[in-house]
Amino acid sequence: MTNVLNLLIVYYSQTGNTEKMARAVEEGAKSVVGVNVELKYFARPEDLAEADAIILGMPTYYHDMSIDMKHLLEAAAKEEIGLKGKVGAAFGSYGWSGEAPNMLVEIMKNRFEMDVIEPPIRIKYNPDKKGLEECRELGKTVAEKIVKTSLS
């Protein structure tokens, strides 16, 4: 394979639960040969543009996502960053309502017309072994999907 494929994971986490999920997603994605995986806490719209697949991780606080993530997505929309057809997915830890990952899916699908893997992974508080395995699987699935597309 000549082309390097880029998979970007952008996440936010205040108390570390979504961060654990993010690191497991990263691990799963890195198990796929030919994919360059980047895990970021802060990203710029250009980072989204350069990625072949984007996985967003977000805990739910006050029934919402973080302001940094909102700003990133708003800036990408304003700058008309073309994400149409790129593979997307979302995950996040939550306590009782867990809206944030669903919001991310809605935005990726409806605003950016991305090819989103659903449903997002939502884990209550601290991810256990099974939850982390699910996250690894998600990373692997997304990475395999872009490899498959690049070969077709």
Ligand X SMILES: Cc1cc2nc3c(=O)[nH]c(=O)nc-3n(C[C@H](O)[C@H](O)[C@H](O)COP(=O)(O)O)c2cc1C
Sign of the CA dihedral running 111, 139, 147, 3: positive
Q: Is 110 in the site for ligand X (CB under 6 A)?
A: no
Specify whether the CB–CB gap between 91 and 57 falls below 8 A.
Answer: yes
Near ligand X by CB under 6 A: residue from 82, 85, 95, 119:
95
CB of 152 to ligand X, least distance (A): 36
Using the minimum distance from each CB to ligand X, give the nearer residue, 51 or 93.
93
**Binding of ligand X at residue 15 (CB under 6 A)?**
yes
- Tell me if 139 contacts ligand X by CB under 6 A: no
3-state DSSP call for residue 35? strand
Nearer to ligand X, 54 or 103 (CB): 103
CB of 67 to ligand X, least distance (A): 14
Ramachandran region of residue 126, left (φ > 0), alpha (ψ -120 to 50) or beta?
beta
Site membership for ligand X, residue 98 (CB under 6 A):
yes
| From candidates 59, 88, 101, 131, binder to ligand X by CB under 6 A | 59
Binding flag, residue 17, ligand X (CB under 6 A): yes
Task: Write out the binding residues for ligand X, residues 117-136 only, by CB under 6 A.
Answer: 125
Buried b or exposed e, range 32-59, using 16+ CB within 10 angstroms:
beebebebeeebebebbeebbbbbbbbb
In DSSP terms, 122 is beta-bridged to 92
Two structure tokens written together for 116: 């989103």
Give the interface with ligand X as residue ranges (CB under 6 A): 13-18, 59-63, 93-98, 125
